[in-house]
Structure 1
Amino acid sequence: MDSIIIYGSIEKIPLYNCSAHSASEWSELDGEKWPMVGAGLIAYGIVIDLLYLPILLIMLEKELFEKSCFKIMFLLGVTDFFTLIIISILTGWFAINGAVYCTYPRIMYISGTIVCALWCSSCMSALLLVANRILGMSKPTWAAMIFDGKKTYIVLMFPVLYFIFFMFNTPVVFSSKYFAWMYTPLIFPDRNLEYFNRPHTINNFSVVTLTCIVYTPFRIIIANQFKKLIHGDSPQLQNAKTQVFLQSTFICAVNQFGSLIYVIMNVIVVPGWLIMSAHFIWQFVHGCPVLIYLTLNETIRVRFVQKLKLNVIFGNKVLPSTTTNTTMNTPNN
């Protein structure tokens, strides 16, 4: 966004000047149409976002939202929701039309700036979520000191400020030829290095590194904590804590894998199938929380069913609309 402020408009930014050809000519030169794949992306984005909406509303319920982990999960969910609009629905439309940057320069530049910032913000939110859960299980006093009450809002300012920072960095833009969002708009092939986004690359390296750092020293602590849960807590409370920890772990692990792929892409030359796979992994990163919440979080799953006014059989038991979940007894830490 800083370049727009400096030059006055997207079209006037020297590195993003598409005046050499018309929009249709650029598509013919560098684009490739993917009608079936594009339709699949649009369908995926719409379905996941439609499932995400009631989940976000459930998280906002007072009984849940007062817990620090649900505040973080809500911010992460909002980030996922808007990211999927760009990387699934909008990208599907680009793919169907065989679009490159110069086909829709304004939409591409703005959406690329936003989605890059959303991705980096979600990386930080995911790390905060797993840190919240690990501290809650191993160091409750520390968790209370950092996250209790309104302190969580202060902590969540970091991913928000992180988002704002990346809004003023080089955007990623979509190429239907490579089926990926990348730094270069492929206007000046001999100047590709000038589009390199160093903060974004540092973010991806940091996510991979920090995730390993966060998990490694706590492996023994978590193992001991589970032993305590087995001998000390009721089965319901043990199950609730285990579910929340697994949710945080899976969400962060998928983020780590997605980051690792993009780190590899920006360091070495990789085959086209891996570049294309990276985009599908990116979509899965932001769509998998829906699956995680609906399979591992009994509170959200039951309330989701209630909102849709369905009678769903879990095992041999039919859950009525008045079912209360044991996860609600999970301590705030």
Structure 2
Amino acid sequence: MNNCNGTESQAYLDDWYSPRLGALYAVLGVGYSIIYIPCIIVMREKDLWINTCYQVMFIVGVLDIGTLMVSAVVPSIYMFIPLSIDCHPVAIQILACWTCQLFWNAYCFMAVVLIMNRCVFMASPSNWHERLFENGRIWLWAAAALVYGCMFIAVFASPYGTLQFHSGAGIYIWASTDVIGSKFSTFNNTATGFLIPIGYILLALIIRRKRMDATGSAAQTTTAEKRLQLQAILICAPTCIAALFYYFAPQITSEVVVYQVIHVVWISSNGRILLC
């Protein structure tokens, strides 16, 4: 029986109190954020900012930090207090349906834009790349990402989508009343998980073709370009892994511990700037 009057009954704590897992989330979320912030500040330096890829990565980084807040930092607080779904429905709903959906789905959108940016730049740097990404058009993509994230907020704020954070289990769950919310999340995770590797396969083919067509020094990719491609891959690959885990896991098992591991993978996917 849930205890909503502030007293600490053992049954309530058994259901909704998870300090060890909460401490892990807090350490990961705060640690990644502290290291991440200087990295995105560096991306604003003039010699990097002129490259549209770094502009996209800057936006991805901001969304990353926002996602770390709703996947790790704020949930860890809920796991220490603890706050149950029944006792604090508004607080849990804002965390799960609004901020979580906004940041994660907007972030996935921009991760796909990042690989698209790389492909278009390598294939047509002076034509389509200029039309799609230069002269401030990056911010139009960022606005589109926010609109995409808000679409998920609308779904989960409606009677047809119900996503909640369970402070005892330390994971987001779909309630039995959910009708289409889980389908929207599955669509996002599936699209992200498959579009990113397809994009990098296409990028590899574009680079291979350009090398075969080029001669002399033009056939060699510069060190800076190689580093930039590697950074883009390291940023997007963990996102792809986390999305695919969320896609395949419901088809394989319902064990809570599996979803707790996947949640840690999700947190780590938003802290992968350390790899760069």
Structure-1-length-normalised TM-score: 0.70
Instruction: Give the stretch that moved more between structures: 29-38 or 116-125.
Output: 29-38
Q: Please state how far the C-alpha of 1:143 moved relative to its aligned partner.
A: 1.6
Change (3 A) 1:124 1:67: same
Q: Distance in 2 between matches of 1:73 and 1:287?
A: 13
Partner of 1:166: 152
| C-alpha separation in 2, matches of 1:226 and 1:98 | 57
Which residue of 170, 181, 190 corresponds with 2:172?
Answer: 181
State percent identity of aligned pairs.
21
Deviation at 1:276, TM superposition (A): 0.8
2:4 maps to 1:22: yes
1:90 aligns with 2:90: no
1:9 equivalent in structure 2:
none
Could you report, residue by residue, the CA deviation over 1:217-266 in whole angstroms, capped at 9, with x for unpaired residues? 4433223446679952598x711101111111122211111111111234
Q: Distance in 1 between matches of 2:186 and 2:258?
A: 18
**In structure 1, what residue type is equivalent to 2:15?**
G
1:198 and 2:183 aligned = yes
Whichever residue aligns with residue 22 of structure 1, its letter is C
Aligned-residue CA RMSD (Å): 2.9
- Inter-CA distance 62–98: structure 2 relative to 1 (3 Å threshold): same
Instruction: Indicate the SS of the match to 1:174.
Output: strand
- 1:276 alignment counterpart: 260
Alignment of 1:40-119 (within 5 A): 40-112=24-96, 113-119=98-104
Distance 2:233 2:163 in 1: 28
Q: In the TM superposition, what whole-angstrom CA distance separates every residue of 1:24-49 from its partner, at most 9, and x where no partner exists?
A: 67971872433233222212222221
The structure-2 alpha-carbon separation of the partners of 1:50 and 1:234, relative to structure 1 and needing over 3 Å to count, comes to farther
Q: Distance in 2 between matches of 1:167 and 1:81?
A: 19
- Give unpaired runs (5+ residues) of structure 2: 157-161
Asked whether the 8 Å contact 2:53–2:117 carries over to 1, the reply is: yes
Contact 1:179 1:276 (8 Å CA) reproduced: yes
Q: Name stretches of at least 5 consecutive residues in structure 1 with no aligned partner.
A: 1-19, 185-190, 294-333
Paired positions, count: 267
Q: 1:273 to 1:21 in 2, by over 3 A?
A: closer
Change (3 A) 1:123 1:231: farther
Q: Secondary structure at the match of 2:270?
A: helix
